Amino acid sequence: HSIFDSVPQAPPDPILSISAAFRADASPRKVNLGVGAYRTDAGAPYVLPIVRKFEKHFANDPSTTHEYLPQDGFTKFNRLSARLILGADSPALNEGRVVTVQALSGTGALRIGFAFIANFIGQRVVYVPNPTWSNHRNVVPQAGLPATRSYRYFDANTRGVDVEGLLQDLSCADEGSIVVFHGCAHNPTGADPSKDEWRRIVQVVASKKLVPFFDNAYQGFASGNLNTDAWSTRLFVQSGMDMFVAQSYAKNMGMYGERVGALNVVLRSPKAVDAVRSQLKQLIRAMYSNPPLHGARIAAAIMADEDAFRQWEMELEKMSARIRTMRTRLRDALIKNGAPGNWDHIVNQIGMFSFTGLTSQQVAFMRDKYHIYMTSNGRVSMAGLTEGTVEYVADAMKDAVL
Ligand code: PLP
């Protein structure tokens, strides 16, 4: 007998297991619409030229070292990262009531944030939208909090945000509960509240004394504009409440595997700033001591330099424009081939994904007959489509819904 004999098999991750199945498929026609990473119109991974430029620069600079960072990461990166999401003129930043720590991309920022809540705020209930990015439900209990509860978010009939249901559910939450919001480009639905709807949401959150936790995995990637995509987060910060803001540079800088991200804790008053930072550092020390340097060094260099920043903004416009073009192409191809139903939601949704409305049976049918891969909830990565595959995918979708 080994001590490991009784270890139960974990279920496959609903998102990551798709790439494995895709790789194992030998069909030359196979298409991966499961991957949450940008692809060029040739279906290839993309390294932003500005990222490449700084990689070369640092590799060739003899003063580049690989020393340890402090527990809370690269100070210059943290400062610029907070400014990117909160805005250069943010009163919270100017009043010195934001604590920013570098994190292992967006997931790591969530993980540290929830661990901090479990340790220092208490056993609060965490509400996540229904549906949400599946990993939210893993991270919260692993960080030491009770299992998540959900609030109504998506209305399958209108294919938009069920704002009345959302407001009702938040009104019923206990005071002090944590509420996860996707700052923009809601994953998986691609449906975001309008500005007016966000204003109604912030009112309920304030009056019920809830604690918002903003998850920003797509800043600049949704609309193509960094400020537009930060609007909802900034609205909540302006209301002056205690809150958490997670950031990821995976999609917007294309540095998926470098794990570049940050957690910002926004405090109502600067009083507890030093204590909060000290505890975050202590948590990090016990988990992984300190974060990786490479990606943060590049991200900071891009954000610090005016020209580089402008080039980055242009890249964001380009990547998000290709995704929007693919939305139009797919919708048009479905109209052209006569697939039954209304497909306008594909162009109305925002961000990397489209929530097509395909059922899990239809998803399985497309995988088995056409070698097209997507998550079982019918979520399609628009970045996985190309001019060369969009008609093939549309025809397969037509076959699936007929
Ligand atoms: N949050 C949401 C909603 C996401 O979609 C993702 C990535 O898919 C993340 C967080 C975190 O990604 P990463 O840890 O790669 O930054």
Is 294:258 a contact under the CB 8 Å cutoff? yes
Instruction: Tell which residue, 340, 324, 325, has the closest CA to residue 394.
Output: 340
Measured CA distances, 281 to 92, 97, 143, 264 (Å): 21, 17, 16, 13
Task: From 16, 104, 107, give the residue whose CB has the most ligand 1 atoms within 8 Å, as the site to mutate.
Answer: 107
* Model confidence, pTM: 0.96
Query: Residues 130, 99, 177, CA angle at the centre, nearest 5°?
Result: 35
- Going along 334-394, which residue ranges are E strands? 353-355, 372-373, 379-381
* Residues framing ligand 1 (Cβ under 6 A): 36, 105-107, 133, 182, 187, 215, 217, 248, 250, 256, 261
The candidate with the shortest Cα–Cα distance to 33, out of 349, 339, 379, is 379
β pairing state of 260-266 and 98-104:
antiparallel
Cβ-Cβ contacts under 8 Å for 223 (sequence gap 6 or more): 184, 229, 320, 350
What are the structure tokens assigned to 400, written together?
A: 């699936």
The first and second tokens of residue 179, run together, are 């509420």
Ligand 1: which residue has its CA nearest to atom 12? 106
Measured in Å, residue 329 CA sits from the centre of ligand 1 at: 26
* Predicted pLDDT at 105: 98
Average pLDDT along the chain, 402 residues, taken 10 residues at a time: 96 88 95 92 95 98 97 98 97 97 98 98 98 97 98 94 98 98 97 98 98 98 96 98 98 98 98 98 98 98 98 97 96 97 94 93 97 95 95 97 94
Q: What pLDDT is attached to residue 35? A: 79
What's the pLDDT score for residue 330? 97
pLDDT for res 15:
85
For atom 2 of ligand 1, the residue with the nearest CA is: 217
